[in-house]
Amino acid sequence: MKVTIEKLDHFGRGICYINDKICFVKEALPGEVVDIDITLENKKYLEANIKKMIQKSSHRIKSPCKSFPECGGCCFQHYSYEEENRYKKDKMIEIIDKFAHLDPKLVKDVISSFEMNYRNKIILHGMGGKLGFYEEKTHSVIPIDECLLISPRMNEIIKNLKSINVQILEALIRSNNDDSMIMVELEGKVSDIELLKPYCDVLIYNGMILTEQDEFISTIGSKKFYLSYSSFFQVNRFLTKDLYDAVLKVVKIKKPMKLLDLYCGTGTIGIYVSDYAKEIVGIDNNGSNIKDANKNKELNQVSSISFICDKVENQIDSFDKIDFIVVDPPRNGLDSKTVDSLLKINPETIVYVSCDPVTLARDLNILKESYLIQYIQPFNMFPRSYHCESVCVLERRSN
């Protein structure tokens, strides 16, 4: 069946219409004319694969990755990076217009960095002697020899793992942001774990720490942070500073007396902006994160910050007289109680760090009654994927 692709959906799939029913075409790009095979028929939509390319998009490129598209890690290895960034801005505009009814001009151009070698962490899965990534929407393992999204040094670990793999179930590989140190955590069975030691600084095998240290330090700007195998840390080693600088820019201007850092993780944002706030309280419900946050506090000699280990919704009601709040929630955004509490606390400024445009728009649609949305700054923290993060600045309305 011959169709013309009109646009991309929010997951990077091509969209066309067949008898007025929407059809999602995997790997198709806007403007392309393709012959398709229908793979799924639903009451509301269709899914299809490309059978034959009739007319290519001028923005289609040859994928540099030999595992694409079988590997489920990327969806845009065949798309020019410039167009990917344009797509992500358009996606953000479309979502905030649809769900928050905000002016598209509030969305700035996407800030991006290197499209390859940017990840400081990956997790490989093993099955039946294979080691790689899960195929999209399955638990079938696609074996890989290298991943273009990580550094050559991390890829060297993959090669070594393959040479000693007997039955690896999972392998976490992590580096600090300057790629000077490597951490590997393995579950499963290898032929000789000692062969891996010369290539990594931290090695954990089936829960046993086999190296002198079990963590290392990563730097963001002038601040330093401990990284353990369980720590949450931003994945993009090139762009994290830019994201944090977007928060810091606002904190510098406001110089808040008391700043609340919600979903604080290991305390990275709070510590990063601590030179410009008199008092900071961070809240996170992950005990490992809070343990690392307190270590990071000591590492950076920040006496003005304290941390609470609990769910945000359990603690938020106990605060008042807060003039600045930073929220960095998971993909499901803010729960209703936290949104209500933000409105009751009524800080002068809210900075919302979002990893999902839909839940951001949903929350802004409520907050906008009491807050003016100053701007939304998108960041392409996950190049070659459909994900888009952002920093949104809200100022309390004068009335």
Q: What is the pLDDT of residues 343-398, one digit of tens each?
A: 999 999 999 999 999 999 999 999 999 999 999 999 999 999 999 999 999 999 98
User: How far from chain centre, in Å, is Cα 199?
Assistant: 27
Asked whether residue 30 carries a pLDDT value surpassing 80, the answer given is yes
CB 158 within 8 A of CB 146: yes
Question: Where are the CATH 2.40.50.1070 domain residues in the chain?
Answer: 121-219
Residue 261 is predicted with a pLDDT of 98
**CATH class label, 2-60:** mainly beta
**Which of 75, 148, 157, 78 lies closest to 117 in space, CA to CA?**
148
Residue 119 is predicted with a pLDDT of 97
Arithmetic mean of pLDDT, 283-301: 95
CB 239 within 8 A of CB 253: no
Question: Which residues fall within 8 angstroms of residue 361, CB to CB, at 6 or more apart?
Answer: 95, 96, 98, 99, 100, 102
Percentage above 70 pLDDT, the chain = 100
126-134 contacts at long range (C-beta below 8 A, 24 or more positions apart): 126/165, 126/167, 126/168, 126/169, 126/170, 126/171, 126/188, 129/165, 129/166, 129/167, 131/158, 131/161, 131/162, 131/165, 131/168, 131/171, 132/67, 132/71, 133/67, 133/71, 133/72, 133/73, 134/72
CB 125 within 8 A of CB 143: no
- Distance between CA 235 and CA 290 in Å, rounded? 19
**Which of 342, 317, 337 lies closest to 327 in space, CA to CA?**
342
Residue 159 is predicted with a pLDDT of 95
Question: Where are the CATH 2.40.50.140 domain residues in the chain?
Answer: 2-60
Q: Does domain 85-114+236-396 fall into CATH 3.40.50.970?
A: no
Arithmetic mean of pLDDT, 77-91: 98
Tell me how crowded residue 373 is: count the other CB atoms within 10 A of its CB.
Answer: 19
Asked whether residue 399 carries a pLDDT value surpassing 70, the answer given is no
Q: What number does CATH give the domain 121-219? A: 2.40.50.1070
| Residue tagged 């002697």 (tokens) | 129
Tell me how crowded residue 165 is: count the other CB atoms within 10 A of its CB.
Answer: 20
Residue 229 is predicted with a pLDDT of 81
Share the mean pLDDT of the chain: 95
**Which of 132, 21, 87 lies closest to 378 in space, CA to CA?**
87
Asked whether residue 320 carries a pLDDT value surpassing 90, the answer given is no
What are 20's two structure tokens? 């007025």
pTM for the predicted model, two decimal places: 0.95
Instruction: Identify the bridge partners of residue 215 per DSSP, sorted by sequence position.
Output: 228
- Distance between CA 198 and CA 227 in Å, rounded? 20
Arithmetic mean of pLDDT, 38-65: 96
User: How far from chain centre, in Å, is Cα 243?
Assistant: 11
- Distance between CA 120 and CA 106 in Å, rounded? 31
Question: Where are the CATH 3.40.50.150 domain residues in the chain?
Answer: 85-114+236-396
| Residue tagged 């392998």 (tokens) | 171
Asked whether residue 42 carries a pLDDT value surpassing 70, the answer given is yes
